[in-house]
Structures are given as C-alpha cells and as structure tokens.
Amino acid sequence: MKCDGGYHGHSDALLAEAGSGVATLALPGARGVTPNSVRDTLVVPYNDPEAMTTVFSQHGEHIAAVIVEPVAGNIGCIPPVPGYLNHLRSLTREYGSLLIADEVMTGYRAAYGSVTHALGGAFDLICLGKIIGAGFPVGACAGRKSLMEHLAPQGPVYQAGTMSGHRFAMAGGSAVLGRLSPGDPYDTLGGLAAHLVTGATEILMEKGIPAYGTHIGGMCTLFLGITEAHAHDGVRKADTALFGSYHAHMFRNGILLPPSQFEAVFVSAAHTMADIDRYLTVLGEWSPHQHHA
C-alpha cells in the first residue's frame, strides 16, 4: 500500500496513482508500466487515518507492507497531521504488516537522523539517500535486525547496485554527516524556513493572492491559489499558471527555485536571514498580472 501522490523511486509496482475512491486498485502512472505491474498495489489518500482504517478492514490480511513518506515531499512539503504516523503504526502492528518510511528526501535534511524519529514514529524499515552521499548517487535501507538478516549474504534476498558503496559518495556523505548534530544546523534551518513561508504568505495575501506555506526543518513549500492542503487532492487545486509567473519573476531576479509548484524547497546551511529577506523583497515586487513569454 502507498499514498496518493507518494513517489518512491522508479519501481514499477509503486509508479501508481489513485482514482476517486477511498482506496483504489492502482493504475499505472507512467507509460510502459503495465497494469499487471501495479495490480497488487493499493493507493490511499495521505493524511487520512479513516481511509487507512477502512482499507485495512477490507484487505488487512493481504497487505504485506505500507510505504509512506512521513512528510510528503513529492506533492510539495505536506507534514503529517497529528497522530497520523502513530495510527499507521498501530494498524500495521494489528494486521502484521510492515511499515516502511521513505526518507530519501527528508532523512538528515528535515531533521537530524530521520523525521520518523523526531516525530515519534516507529517504523520497521527506513530508506535513506541524497544527503548521506553528499548529493552523489547513493541509497541505503535500515531496519530491525530480524528483517535485515533476510538480505544476502545472511539471507536469501539479493540486493546490489553499481553505485553501492562508491568511495566518492561515502567520503562525501561522511564529511557532511560529521558536521551535523541534533541542534545545529537544524534550529537555524527551521528558523529560516519559517521566516520564508510566513513572510511570503503575508506578502501574497496583501496582494490578494491566496497562499499556503508549509515547512518542517529546512524543508518548505509555498502553495499559490489555495489556503490549506493536507493531501494530494487539496494540493491539486493549487494554481500552477500563477506559480509559473512567480517562478519566472524570481528567476529573472537571481533567485532559483524548483520549477514546479509540487517540488519542495530546501533551505541550506549556506543561506542566511539576509538571503531570505532578499527573497521576500523580490517577491514583494512581483506583479501576478504581468505576462511573460
């Protein structure tokens, strides 16, 4: 089972999207992925504990695992509603399913170690990437010893890759992780991200533009055209054309943002409050009624 809007890498069974129901048998979300590849995947809305309970009551004995981004990042930054992750933990334990945290995006970026640890969620398996290789190609998984012992050579599940353990990625990742601690730089990153989304939301509201800003740690998103969203359905209502005008204005003024309304922004340790203030100044100069080629 996965959540609507969750992206978990190019794995055919997980390249699936939901329909309009509480839960759907997944449909392929990419050309070339056949219906049979995703027929065993269930898709449910993110941040909807009632929907998850309903699906488990119907299919619980057949659900091997639930994979979820603890903080959704591929529909923009959408933090979990209070109690959501603990609800998933309770359900999966009740039905004997594994709970997998995809923290490739958030691990060591939104919080020291993992968001699941910071938010009190207990997962069976966790997937990490990106920052543990300082941006070089890398991935890692971790979990309970009883599960990890299924991997070769101790167990029968084979897993390998061309880039596994690459010396550049390992050296870079070690250098980055060695500079991190529970307080620094996460306290600073959280303050910068909060200043960005709070200031931007106020500026846009003054311009008469509905806006919704989210952040956790240094990870944030500014949604345009909506004032609230906690799942994919709400995010879909954001104004992508308006975002295009906003992005072009910021780009022309030397501020490079992700080119999609549905990609998260990451404040880095290289940023300062002066950088955020400059961003807010440039944003204040934006006229959404201007049209640009």
Which of 102, 108, 124, 279 is labelled catalytic? Answer: 102
Residue 20 has pLDDT above 60, yes or no: no
Q: Which of 168, 198, 179 is nearest to 268 (CA)?
A: 179
- The mean pLDDT value for 272-291 works out to 91
Compute the distance between CA of residue 1 and CA of residue 40 in angstroms, rounded to an integer: 9
Which of 130, 186, 212, 246 is labelled catalytic? Answer: 130
CA 101 from chain center: how many Å? 11
- The mean pLDDT value for 143-161 works out to 92
Q: Can 7 be counted among the known catalytic residues? A: yes
Domains and CATH numbers, the chain: 2-177 (3.40.640.10), 186-284 (3.90.1150.10)
Segment 88-110, tens digit of pLDDT: 999 999 999 999 999 999 988 88
19 falls in which pLDDT band (50, 70, 90)? Answer: very low
Segment 173-192, tens digit of pLDDT: 999 999 888 888 899 999 99
pLDDT at 11: 80
pLDDT at 128: 92
Which of 7, 186, 212, 246 is labelled catalytic? Answer: 7
Q: How many helices (H) and strands (E) are present in the chain, helices listed first?
A: 9, 12
Residue 179's contacts (CB-CB under 8 Å, 6 or more residues apart) are none
